[in-house]
Amino acid sequence: GGKAPGKVSTRYDLEKETELRFEVEAGEAAEQLELELLTGMAEVFGSELNRNKKYTFGPGSKIAVFTWQGCSVNLYGKPEVAYVSKDTPMLLYLNTHAALEQMRKQAERDNERGPRVMVVGPTDVGKSTVCRLLLSYAVRVGRRPTLVELDVGQSGVSVPGTVSALCIERPADVEEGFSVQAPLVYHFGSTTPGTNIKLYNKLTSCLAEVFSQRCEVNRKASVGGCIINTCGWVKGSGYQALVHCASTFQVDVVLVLDHERLYNELKRDLPHFVRVVLLPKSGGVVERSKECRREARDEKIREYFYGFRGVTFYPFSFEVRFSDVRIYKIGAPSIPDSCLPLGMSQDDTQLKLVPVTPGRDLTYHVLSVSSAEDGEEGARKGIVESPVCGFIVVTYVDTQAQVMKVLSPAPRPLPRHTLLIMDIRFMDMK
Ligand code: ADP
């Protein structure tokens, strides 16, 4: 490739209904890869490629370029792996989209609401990818579906430790995913629902309520329906959380990826009018190590503060006086039922706001800035159910001076003074 000096280029001619899968080496020092469509048409997870444009993929990316009609592409750089597969479930996924689109048409005709879809399955089966695909296909035919992100470990919308909803207005960007403007985000505080399942279910209900309210006033949102991405935890309380989600969102369709037992359980436990569909996973989905997940989480936080490739943000660093903020953790450590004060249930302890005394151990923690109005103690009640307006990271604590230094996307002062602490930490290496 004369246009990218120093990089080897490899041409792939793809037959119809096949995909080129490639991975970019992980790690800071790794070389980026570029992809160019030379002839024909192709898409990356539902987003069409433009011809003669170079798309860049950074370290750790795992990509599939799929073509319905056939195409040829060039890869510049040396991928960790690259191969062509004829064996993909894309036709099944497209048929799923077609069925959902039928439901939207019918909703339009009968003045009803469009499909609410929950995508479930263990980790690394391509749930997020299927969500992205279905959303991009829907938006390409003029719909305005909503993405509901319940995966607190690997959120596609906001930083980890949150659940969120995002109205999708255009297909995902090939390199960067969905444009994240004005998402509705709630603080959960850790990367697995198991740390506080009551809170997790509560926030799921909050999102469902807000979404339903929006559907009442916005016909396009109602017809577009929603696609809900869930966590990979499908046993015990994790399973119960899926059932809870199905009921609170009143889902119409559940797509189960690659898990027959889960499929049977949901068919048994959900009302009969819910369509539960078992879909195969793509052979291209790559299992990610713990380390790989941790890196992805870190990267997501870094992006929040510093931007992503094309867009660079310049975060601010300033001091916040302890006396100016109130920091809480949601959920008191659980105590035996017999020790609970009269009239109090375990639910209450898991949703309780516990004041945090600022100290050195706050360092590096991510804090959510609650949108709840700053008020007296009595106003605390709404904080758990209030969306978040942003995040800061504590970079230094001076207990003597009673101040902490924070990294913030906006200059001082903080827009609100109620902060919620996450288990998640971020060490700023810039
Ligand atoms: P889950 O949400 O179930 O954990 P993801 O959808 O995040 O799984 O997929 C895991 C990884 O596999 C992602 O990095 C994604 O880009 C990659 N991936 C998904 N489908 C394919 C495919 N067909 N070919 C190559 N990589 C893929």
Residue that terminates a domain, selected from 45, 61, 87: 87
194 annotated as belonging to a binding site for a ligand: no
Domain membership of residue 289 (yes or no) is no
Please tell me the predicted confidence (pLDDT) of residue 2.
Answer: 43
Based on the domain organization, do 63 and 93 belong to the same domain?
no
Please tell me the predicted confidence (pLDDT) of residue 423.
Answer: 95
Please tell me the predicted confidence (pLDDT) of residue 181.
Answer: 80
157 annotated as belonging to a binding site for a ligand: no
Q: Which atom of ligand 1 is nearest to the CA of 121?
A: 3
- Which tokens go with 131? 């969500």
pLDDT in tens, the chain (430 residues): 344 456 899 999 999 999 999 999 987 777 889 999 999 999 999 999 999 899 999 888 999 999 999 999 999 999 999 999 999 999 999 999 999 999 999 999 999 999 999 999 999 999 999 999 999 999 999 999 999 999 999 999 999 999 999 999 999 999 888 888 889 999 999 999 999 999 999 999 999 999 999 999 999 999 999 999 999 999 999 999 999 999 999 999 999 999 999 999 999 999 999 999 999 999 999 888 898 899 899 999 999 999 877 788 999 999 999 999 999 999 987 667 777 677 777 667 899 999 999 999 999 999 999 999 877 554 566 899 999 999 999 999 999 999 999 999 999 999 999 999 999 999 976 5
Based on the domain organization, do 77 and 182 belong to the same domain?
no
Based on the domain organization, do 217 and 262 belong to the same domain?
yes
Strand partners, 388: 370
Instruction: Among 55, 57, 62, say which to mutate for ligand 1: greatest number of ligand atoms within 8 Å of CB.
Output: 62
Instruction: Answer whether 0.80 is exceeded by the pTM.
Output: yes
| Residue nearest atom 4 in ligand 1 by C-alpha distance | 124
Largest CA distance in the chain: 76
Based on the domain organization, do 145 and 206 belong to the same domain?
yes
Please tell me the predicted confidence (pLDDT) of residue 377.
Answer: 58
Ligand 1 pocket, CB under 6 A: 21, 62, 64, 123-129, 232, 282, 284-286
CATH number, domain of 240, equals 3.40.50.300
Please tell me the predicted confidence (pLDDT) of residue 4.
Answer: 47
Based on the domain organization, do 406 and 274 belong to the same domain?
no
Indicate whether this complex's ipTM tops 0.90.
Answer: yes
Distance, CA 9 to ligand 1 centroid (Å)?
A: 24
Residue that terminates a domain, selected from 39, 54, 87: 87
Based on the domain organization, do 55 and 134 belong to the same domain?
no
Instruction: Among 285, 290, 292, say which to mutate for ligand 1: greatest number of ligand atoms within 8 Å of CB.
Output: 285
Domain membership of residue 20 (yes or no) is yes
Which residues have CB under 8 Å from 52's CB, separation 6+?
36, 37, 38
Residue that terminates a domain, selected from 87, 116, 143: 87
CATH number, domain of 403, equals 2.40.30.330
Please tell me the predicted confidence (pLDDT) of residue 94.
Answer: 97
Please tell me the predicted confidence (pLDDT) of residue 260.
Answer: 97
Instruction: Among 129, 281, 287, 300, say which to mutate for ligand 1: greatest number of ligand atoms within 8 Å of CB.
Output: 129
| Residue nearest atom 20 in ligand 1 by C-alpha distance | 285
If one counts the domains in the chain, the total is: 3
Q: What are phi and psi of 182, to 5 degrees?
A: 50, 55
Please tell me the predicted confidence (pLDDT) of residue 347.
Answer: 67
31 annotated as belonging to a binding site for a ligand: no
Based on the domain organization, do 247 and 124 belong to the same domain?
yes
Based on the domain organization, do 73 and 184 belong to the same domain?
no
129 annotated as belonging to a binding site for a ligand: yes
Q: Which atom of ligand 1 is nearest to the CA of 64?
A: 24
| Residue nearest atom 27 in ligand 1 by C-alpha distance | 285
Distance, CA 129 to ligand 1 centroid (Å)?
A: 6
Based on the domain organization, do 236 and 366 belong to the same domain?
no
Based on the domain organization, do 117 and 75 belong to the same domain?
no
- Note down the domain range covering 417: 315-336+346-425
Based on the domain organization, do 148 and 179 belong to the same domain?
yes
| Residue nearest atom 6 in ligand 1 by C-alpha distance | 126
Instruction: Among 286, 293, 297, say which to mutate for ligand 1: greatest number of ligand atoms within 8 Å of CB.
Output: 286
